[in-house]
Amino acid sequence: MREADQAGVLLLEDGSRFEGTLVSSGECFGEVVFNTSMTGYQEIITDPSYRGQVVLMTQPHMGNYGVSSEVSESRRPWVEGFIAREFTRVPSGVGGEPLIEYLQRSNVPALEGIDTRAVVRRLRATGSLRGVIAPLSADPDELKEHLHTMPRMVGRALVDEVTCDEAYNVPAQGEERCFLALYDFGAKENILRSLSKRGARVRVLPARTSAEDCLALGIDGVVLSNGPGDPEPLTSIIEAVRTLLAAELPLLGICLGHQLLGLAVGGSTFKLKFGHHGGNQPVKDLVNGTVAITSQNHGFAVDGDSLPYNCRVTGINLNDGTVQAFEVNDRPVFSVQYHPEASPGPHESARIFDEYLKAVTDHAAVAAR
């Protein structure tokens, strides 16, 4: 243990206790989930979808290439706490700010030196658990009391904590092809970059924007972004999505947006045992038979059997068979559970943006006749 470090502990709600070293001091509570990505730790830390969660990385070493402002997915870190087997103190290559210093500066508690493999095995066996990172000197009885009173993720609406305060514009790069509205439920910056570089001008809207105000903008299509928490409590947003569906504009749902779209068409969602968090999730396209390796971060899923007759499932997760994509028949409406803007090595999932923008421009051309 280095002189500036402090003994720390991860305490889970089932009583499991893992002692290690706090490289960024503090105390935090949240649902503990594990992420299997080998790189991309800064994108994970700044992903608003992790609001309310403590993230444990299965890759043993974190921080090898430092931190750079250019790759952040939002204006600040959103993870409640961060855990790795070991953090690199001095970045290699071009470097950048050391990850530990970034976590300290951002007041994100971070723990190293615990048996992360043992924690992952427990989470896989029991499902995601509420947990706390704290100094080893903290009163264990107080920690347990607080831990068992904190809300579970089921029933928890978190989009209001991460959405933008007011609407703003993102200009198209190059020639403008279309004008889109994007509902910000915790949108990652790279979604906006992916749309902008393909010629879309985007109006980013707060999560509770009414469908009427959205449609009054004169848009060509709507994107429903990723975000944290349980989709089912977001009843007013689901109603807004139903109104947007009735307007027959092209819609694209991503992650939480995919789940909200599933609820809006009449389907249901459910909590996964330990979720999908990582950059190596295999998704089979049921239309053309191809398999894409995707980046995912979600704890809820759409029940495929609950979708109405006019919808068809177009993608499944090959690990557990859960719905990864569906579309509405004869309508320019489709959604994906994975993150097409993320590129954990392969880039094949980015085609979703190309397909969606083609649907938008085709729909606009027909409407203009």
Amino acid 155: pLDDT: 95
Amino acid 2: pLDDT: 56
Q: Does residue 255 carry a catalytic annotation?
A: yes
Q: Taking all residues of the chain, what is their mean pLDDT, rounded to a whole number?
A: 94
Identical fold, 6-149 and 159-367: no
Choosing from 28, 214, 255, 311, which is the catalytic residue? 255
Question: Which candidate, 195, 328, 204, places its Cα nearest to that of 266?
Answer: 328
Q: What is the pLDDT of residues 213-261, one digit of tens each?
A: 999 999 999 999 999 999 999 999 999 999 999 999 999 999 999 999 9
How far is it, in rounded angstroms, from Cα 143 to Cα 353?
A: 45
Contact status, residue 252 vs residue 221, Cβ threshold 8 Å: yes
Which of residues 51 and 342 earns the better pLDDT score?
51
Amino acid 4: pLDDT: 60
- The rounded percent of the chain whose pLDDT value lies above 90 is 88
CATH topology of domain 6-149: Glucose Oxidase; domain 1 (3.50.30)
pLDDT exceeds cutoff 70 at 346: no
User: Model-level pTM?
Assistant: 0.95
Q: What is the pLDDT of residues 155-189, one digit of tens each?
A: 999 999 999 999 999 999 999 999 999 999 999 99
Contact status, residue 54 vs residue 80, Cβ threshold 8 Å: yes
β 269-285/86-87 pair status: unpaired
pLDDT exceeds cutoff 60 at 191: yes
pLDDT exceeds cutoff 60 at 1: no
Q: Does residue 339 carry a catalytic annotation?
A: yes
Amino acid 344: pLDDT: 61
Choosing from 31, 232, 327, 341, which is the catalytic residue? 341
Q: In a 10 Å sphere around its CB, with 0-12 CB exposed, 13-18 middle and 19+ buried, how is residue 9 labelled?
A: buried
Amino acid 254: pLDDT: 97
Contact status, residue 46 vs residue 76, Cβ threshold 8 Å: yes
Amino acid 69: pLDDT: 81
Domain 159-367, CATH homologous superfamily name and number: Class I glutamine amidotransferase (GATase) domain (3.40.50.880)
pLDDT exceeds cutoff 80 at 342: no
Structural tokens at position 362: 């085709």
pLDDT band at 345 (very low <50, low <70, confident <90, very high): low
User: Taking every pair of C-alpha atoms in the chain, what is the biggest distance, in angstroms?
Assistant: 72
Q: What is the pLDDT of residues 96-148, one digit of tens each?
A: 899 999 999 999 999 999 999 999 999 999 999 999 999 999 999 999 999 99
pLDDT band at 366 (very low <50, low <70, confident <90, very high): confident
Structural tokens at position 58: 């299965």
Q: What is the pLDDT of residues 290-331, one digit of tens each?
A: 999 999 999 999 999 999 999 999 999 999 999 999 999 989
Choosing from 276, 298, 339, 363, which is the catalytic residue? 339
The domain spans of the chain are 6-149, 159-367
Q: Where are the beta strands (DSSP E) in the chain?
A: 6-12, 17-24, 28-35, 53-57, 61-62, 81-83, 86-87, 110-112, 129-135, 168-170, 178-184, 200-206, 221-224, 251-254, 269-285, 291-302, 311-317, 323-328, 333-336
Q: What are the angstrom distances between the C-alpha of 350 and each of 43, 89, 331, 344?
A: 17, 34, 21, 11
pLDDT exceeds cutoff 90 at 266: yes
